[in-house]
């Protein structure tokens, strides 16, 4: 078994573990930690969920010496990157195997072989959420639609309850939007561009114009705003109870450990809207989960997955590279601010964007930005805050405009 596979199994084991299991995991690494170090982990109740957000500074603040603090920060960073690559890579199943072999059991077996022990509940959520996306995709082949219908029928017959297909929740979205526009009592909603919004996914034969900047290049930020307005509100609302993770120590509605959406839900929604709009109407190339391979700083071979890319078919280079995050802590944001340039080295996009969806309190009015050094390298960042039902969405962004000047938007109403 290779080193990377062994670590993948361990990281999966430690992801939601208690403090003692984490300590055992760290002992097995043989990085010369002693009982004084483990005593601090016990005292501060550092478990698998918290460990990935820890930094050298935090460990030292808790009373640890600099040496072990540096070692633990390195392990936390590796753990964070490996765990995230594992989560994102699991969607690749549906592009690797023909639809005729798709099944939950086959998916679990493949996922376990690739990424280590996989929890059945997590596998169930990813597998069936992706099936619902295919079910609502008019460009999927008849064979795929038939396979998906049969799999969903078997799921229903087995007595397991699942959410309604995307087509049903899309109808719910249209109803919500129509009521919001007609209501004059809700000044927040009626003052936003939602009143003029067309559902791109419903009007494929219409020429939904691509927003351009003054120099004639496509306006990526405007594309992101239009795309987010077209997200299915019903799916986002259901996600907090069906496809969720914990906010951990981040405040959501003034509380810790609240259920918030996982990145996969935002990823699926954004991919679907961009394909329906930019690819089907304007012929753009939209790629999700672009699989890259690279030897990284640890001199080990790594598999990387770029969330989304946008490309004009006649252009040799990408228009934009999009890296998505969901209710991320500052250490995770910082990690992805750096990580995205590993994708940039191979894909050479015109623009690089971190797209952060979150429910954490106050971030949209006091957002966290990358360093000036990373901004000088071309990193653009947009934060989208939304409520549980996706009825209120606000945005803050820092980016370079067509004249290469830095621009900043704070707390703009999107919905």
Mean pLDDT value across the chain = 79
The answer, yes or no, to whether residue 118 has pLDDT greater than 80, is no
Comparing 152-161, 192-201, 275-284, 399-408, the range with the smallest average pLDDT is 192-201
Residues 6 or more apart whose CB falls under 8 angstroms from that of 240 comprise 259, 260, 261, 388
- pLDDT given at position 202: 44
Region 262-270 average pLDDT: 91
> d(Cα 64, Cα 220) in Å, to the nearest integer?
44
The answer, yes or no, to whether residue 329 has pLDDT greater than 70, is yes
Q: What pLDDT digit, counting tens, does each position of 120-177 carry?
A: 667 787 788 788 777 766 667 888 888 988 888 877 655 444 433 333 333 333 333 3
- pLDDT given at position 367: 93
The answer, yes or no, to whether residue 311 has pLDDT greater than 80, is yes
- pLDDT given at position 287: 92
DSSP state at residue 295: E
Nearest C-alpha neighbor of 355 from the set 398, 388, 387: 398
- pLDDT given at position 8: 36
Nearest C-alpha neighbor of 308 from the set 394, 390, 201, 223: 223
- pLDDT given at position 178: 37
Comparing 176-180, 204-208, 371-375, 393-397, the range with the smallest average pLDDT is 176-180
Strand 259-261 relative to strand 393-400, pairing: unpaired
- Res. 301 pLDDT band, cuts 50 70 90: low
- pLDDT given at position 397: 97
Three-class secondary structure of residue 5 per DSSP: helix
Residues 6 or more apart whose CB falls under 8 angstroms from that of 323 comprise 306, 307, 336, 339, 340, 343, 352, 353, 354, 355
Q: How far is CA 128 from CA 113, 166, 357, in A?
A: 20, 12, 22
- pLDDT given at position 355: 98
> Which pTM was predicted?
0.54
- pLDDT given at position 322: 97
Element at 258 (helix H, strand E): none
**pLDDT: which is higher, 343 or 293:** 343
- pLDDT given at position 340: 93
Region 41-52 average pLDDT: 86
Residues 6 or more apart whose CB falls under 8 angstroms from that of 328 comprise 336, 356, 358
The answer, yes or no, to whether residue 66 has pLDDT greater than 50, is yes
> Could you tell me how far CA 260 lies from the centroid of its own chain?
12
Domains of the chain: 3-89 (1.10.150), 97-162 (no CATH), 200-413 (no CATH)
**pLDDT: which is higher, 124 or 339:** 339
Residues 6 or more apart whose CB falls under 8 angstroms from that of 111 comprise 90, 93, 118, 123
- Pick left, alpha or beta for residue 378 (phi over 0 → left; psi -120 to 50 → alpha; otherwise beta): left
Q: E strands within 186-300?
A: 244-246, 259-261, 285-295
> d(Cα 154, Cα 105) in Å, to the nearest integer?
13
Q: What pLDDT digit, counting tens, does each position of 6-40 carry?
A: 333 333 444 567 888 888 888 887 889 999 999 99
Q: How far is CA 160 from CA 121, 224, 265, in A?
A: 12, 35, 21
- pLDDT given at position 396: 96
Q: What pLDDT digit, counting tens, does each position of 231-262 carry?
A: 998 889 888 788 888 888 888 988 888 899 99
Maximum pairwise Cα distance, the chain: 66
Comparing 221-235, 302-316, 353-367, the range with the smallest average pLDDT is 302-316
The answer, yes or no, to whether residue 103 has pLDDT greater than 50, is yes
The answer, yes or no, to whether residue 285 has pLDDT greater than 90, is yes
Q: What pLDDT digit, counting tens, does each position of 188-244 carry?
A: 333 333 333 445 544 443 347 899 998 889 999 999 999 999 999 888 988 878 888
- Indicate if the alpha-carbon torsion angle 267, 49, 336, 363 is positive or negative: positive
- pLDDT given at position 398: 96
- Res. 411 pLDDT band, cuts 50 70 90: very high
- pLDDT given at position 380: 97
- pLDDT given at position 392: 93
> d(Cα 190, Cα 183) in Å, to the nearest integer?
7
């Amino acid at each position: 078994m290779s080193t990377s596979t062994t670590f993948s199994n361990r990281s999966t084991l430690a992801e939601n573990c208690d403090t003692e299991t984490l300590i055992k995991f760290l002992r097995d690494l043989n990085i010369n930690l002693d009982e004084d170090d483990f005593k601090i982990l016990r005292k501060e109740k550092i478990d698998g969920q918290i460990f990935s957000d820890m930094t050298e500074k935090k460990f030292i603040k808790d009373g640890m010496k600099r040496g072990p603090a540096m070692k633990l920060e390195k392990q936390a960073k590796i753990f964070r990157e490996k765990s995230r690559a594992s989560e994102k890579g699991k969607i690749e199943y549906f592009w690797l195997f023909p639809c005729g072999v798709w099944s939950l059991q086959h998916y679990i077996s493949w996922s376990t072989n690739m990424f280590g022990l996989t929890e059945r509940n997590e596998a169930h959520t990813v597998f069936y959420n992706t099936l619902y996306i295919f079910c609502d995709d008019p460009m999927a082949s008849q064979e795929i639609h038939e396979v998906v219908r049969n799999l969903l029928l078997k799921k229903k017959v087995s007595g397991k309850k699942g959410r309604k297909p995307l087509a049903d929740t899309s109808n719910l979205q249209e109803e919500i939007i129509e009521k919001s526009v007609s209501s004059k009592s809700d000044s927040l909603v009626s003052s936003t561009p939602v009143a003029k919004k067309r559902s791109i996914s419903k009007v494929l034969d219409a020429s939904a114009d691509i927003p351009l900047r003054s120099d004639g290049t496509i306006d990526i930020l405007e594309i992101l705003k239009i795309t987010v307005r077209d997200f299915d509100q019903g799916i986002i609302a259901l996600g907090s109870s069906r496809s969720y993770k914990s906010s951990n120590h981040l405040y959501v509605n003034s509380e810790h450990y609240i259920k918030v959406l996982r990145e996969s839900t935002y990823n699926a929604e954004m991919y679907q809207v961009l394909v329906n709009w930019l690819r089907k109407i304007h012929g753009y190339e939209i790629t999700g989960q672009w699989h890259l391979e690279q030897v990284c700083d640890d001199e080990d071979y790594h598999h990387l997955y770029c969330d989304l890319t946008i490309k004009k078919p006649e252009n040799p280079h990408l228009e934009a590279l999009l890296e998505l995050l969901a209710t991320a802590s500052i250490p995770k944001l910082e990690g992805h601010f750096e990580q995205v340039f590993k994708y940039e080295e191979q894909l050479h996009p015109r623009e690089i964007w971190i797209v952060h969806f979150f429910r954490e309190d106050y971030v949209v009015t006091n957002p966290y930005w990358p360093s000036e050094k990373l901004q000088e390298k071309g990193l653009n960042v947009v934060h989208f805050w939304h409520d549980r039902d996706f009825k209120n969405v606000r945005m803050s962004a820092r980016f370079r405009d067509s004249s290469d000047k830095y621009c900043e938007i704070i707390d703009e109403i999107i919905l």
